[in-house]
Amino acid sequence: MKQGSKIELPLWLGEMLALSQSLNTSSLVTLDPPSALAPRVLNALKADPRTVDLRALAPHFYNLGARILELFEEEEMIEVLSDTFKSRSAVIADQAHNPRGALGEGADFMRGLDENERQLFRTAHDSAKAVRAWMTDIKKK
């Protein structure tokens, strides 16, 4: 392989190669952010985070972002990922409390949720269901 060649590697392997340098030599590789966090993705998230299919980019999108932020100092990425999660979590909570919200227009959005967002949806949905059951039980007494 020629010096300066670009190849895609699993993050764990690229990280290990970048960190495995001896005292007198430079590292074997340099790391670039993955395509799931490329500038075009960050721009799309800035424009409207609710329309981006995070699952297609990376099933564990936020976990990948957190790991990349441990490796790179990217202030803009921190802001974009934080704003994205806030914006999308409001919609997720709304759809979790309204069973019809996950149908029709919201179905595409639900398919695009990363694993953290899916867990948030399940938790919000189960909580709303438990509150409805509790209210029904109280009315019976």
pTM for the whole thing?
0.79
Residue spans of the domains in the chain: they are: 11-140
Residue 101 has pLDDT above 70, yes or no: no
Position with higher pLDDT, 103 vs 129: 129
Residue 72 has pLDDT above 60, yes or no: yes
The residue whose two tokens read 């190669």 is: 17
Position with higher pLDDT, 116 vs 132: 116
Is 109 in contact with 91 (CB distance < 8 Å)? yes
How do the residues of the chain divide into helix, strand and coil, expressed in percent and rounded to 5? Answer: 70, 0, 30
Q: What is the mean pLDDT of the chain?
A: 85
Which burial class, exposed, middle or buried, applies to 106 when counting CB atoms under 10 A from its CB (0-12, 13-18, 19+)?
middle
Distance CA 23, CA 47 (A): 45
Task: For residue 63, give the 3-state DSSP assignment.
Answer: helix
Q: What is the mean pLDDT of residues 106-126?
A: 84
Is 71 in contact with 15 (CB distance < 8 Å)? yes
125-128, long-range: CB < 8 A, 24+ apart: 125/96, 125/97, 128/96, 128/97
**37, amino acid identity:** L
Domain range 11-140, CATH architecture? Up-down Bundle (1.20)
Residue 71 has pLDDT above 90, yes or no: no
Residue 3 has pLDDT above 90, yes or no: no
How many other CB atoms sit within 10 Å of the CB of residue 120? 18
Q: pLDDT (tens digit, 9 = 90+) per residue, 39-65?
A: 999 999 999 998 899 999 999 999 999
Residue 11 has pLDDT above 70, yes or no: yes
Residue 21 has pLDDT above 70, yes or no: no
Kindly indicate the confidence band of residue 37, based on its pLDDT and cuts at 50, 70 and 90: very high
pLDDT value of position 126:
87
